Amino acid sequence: MKVIDIHIHGGFGISFDSAKKEDINLFAKLAHKKGIIAFCPTLTGGTIEELNERIKNIHLAKLDQKEDEALIIGANLEGTFLSKEKPGVQNPNNFLEPTIENFKKIAGEFEDDIKIVVIAPENKNCDEFIEYLKSKNIKVHFGHTQTDSLIGADGINHLYNAMEPITHKKETLTVKALLDENIYTELIADTKHVVEDVLKLTFKIRPKNKILLISDALPIANSNLEKIEFCNKTVLKTGYDEKGILGGSVMLLSDIVSNLIKKGIITEEEANLMAYENQKNYLKLML
C-alpha cells in the first residue's frame, strides 16, 4: 500500500536535523522501498543558522531526486514556534518568537521548500504571522500548545499529543478539533501515542477525509540502533527518553497502517484514504 507521511523526523538511522543532502536522498530511496511515496522531512528546533542549513539540504536533495526515491515534498517546521508549557520531548531553549522576521531568517532563499509550520497560537504576534504563512501557501498547524482555539489553523499537529486533554470541565483544542468537520487532524496511530480504544473513538467521531495518519517517526525507526540523541536527549529504541517521555514513533507509516488493518481497526480502503489520498489532496500533490 502506498502512503504519504507529512510528519516524520527520520528513520533508518538518519535524522533530518543532521542529515546532509546525500543522507536525505538515501532516506528517500529506503523509504520508497517501504511504500512511502512522498514525505515531509520534519525538523525540530535549533538556531536560525542551523535551521537554514537543514532547509538548504532538503532543497538540494529535492533537486537531485531519482525515480526510485520517495518524493521530498518540503520541510515541516515543528520545533520552532511552540509553547514552553507543552514542549514534549523537544528542547524549549530552541523555541523562537513566531514572527515574520524570524521565519524569513530561518527560510532564507528556501521559503518555497517549507510546506508546514507548527505554532502555538497563544504566543505573541501570531495573527500577523499566520496571515503571512497563508499568503505563501504554507499550511499552519497548531501544536505543542495550550490554546483552545482553532482560528487560523489549517491542521492540528498530532492530535491528543502535547495539547490539553479531553475534560468535561473546560473547552480544549482536543475536543474542538475532534468535532470540527473542516479542519485536518494529524494522528499518530502507532497505538503508543494514542491507544487503540481512543483510535477507534477518533475514527468514529472524525470525518475520515479530514484525518492525516502520520508516523512522527524518529531516526531510530527501522534501524538496529539501541538509542539516539534527539532534541538534546537520549531516546531509546522504544521511542521513550530516559525520563519516560515519549519522543516519537519507532514505526514507519507503512508499518503503522499495516498494523491497523491487521488489528481490524481500519479497512484497507480507509487506510488508503487517511494515509494517502487525504495527504495528496491537502497538499495538492501531483502524484
pLDDT tens for residues 82-131?
A: 999 999 889 999 999 999 999 999 999 999 999 999 999 998 779 999 99
Residue 243's pLDDT is 85
pLDDT of the residue at 74: 98
Res 41: pLDDT: 98
The Cα 247–Cα 238 span in angstroms is: 9
45 part of a folded domain = yes
The fraction of the chain above a pLDDT of 90, given in percent, is 94
The radius of gyration of the chain from alpha carbons, rounded to an integer in Å, stands at: 17
Q: How far is CA 92 from CA 62, 181, 191, in A?
A: 30, 32, 26
Q: How many domains does the chain have?
A: 1
pLDDT tens per residue, range 176-201: 999 999 999 999 999 999 999 999 99
Distances (CA, A) of 54 to 24, 112, 131: 10, 14, 24
Query: Among 219, 188, 186, which Cα is nearest to 16's?
Result: 219
Contact in structure between 259 and 252 (CB atoms under 8 Å): no
Residue 4 near residue 211 (C-beta atoms within 8 A): no
Which residues constitute the domain of residue 220? 3-282
Answer for the pair 235, 218: CB distance below 8 angstroms, yes or no. Answer: yes
> What is the distance between the alpha carbons of residues 58 and 163, in angstroms, rounded to a whole number?
29
Residue 75 lies in a domain: yes
Cross-strand pairs, 227:
236
Bridge-based pairing of strands 36-43 and 3-8 is parallel
Instruction: Tell me the backbone φ, ψ of residue 237, rounded to 5 degrees.
Output: -65, -10
Q: Is residue 104 part of a domain?
A: yes
Residue whose C-alpha is closest to residue 78's, from 180, 165, 186, 206: 186
Which pLDDT score, from 0 to 100, does residue 52 have?
Answer: 98
Query: Per DSSP, what are the bridge partners of residue 246?
Result: 240
H/E element, 140 = strand 139-142
pLDDT digits (tens, 9 = 90+) for 127-177: 999 999 999 999 999 999 999 999 999 999 999 999 999 999 999 999 999
CATH of the domain at 239: 3.20.20.140
Flag whether 114 is in a domain.
Answer: yes
**pLDDT number for residue 245:** 85
Q: How far apart are CA 180 and CA 205, in angstroms?
A: 10
User: 9 in a domain, yes or no?
Assistant: yes
Q: For residue 287, is it within any domain? A: no
- The string of pLDDT tens digits covering residues 46-74 is 999 999 999 999 999 999 999 999 999 99
Backbone φ and ψ for 120, nearest 5 degrees, come out as -100, 110
- Chain segment 195-247, per-residue pLDDT in tens: 999 999 999 999 999 999 999 999 999 999 999 999 988 999 999 988 888 88
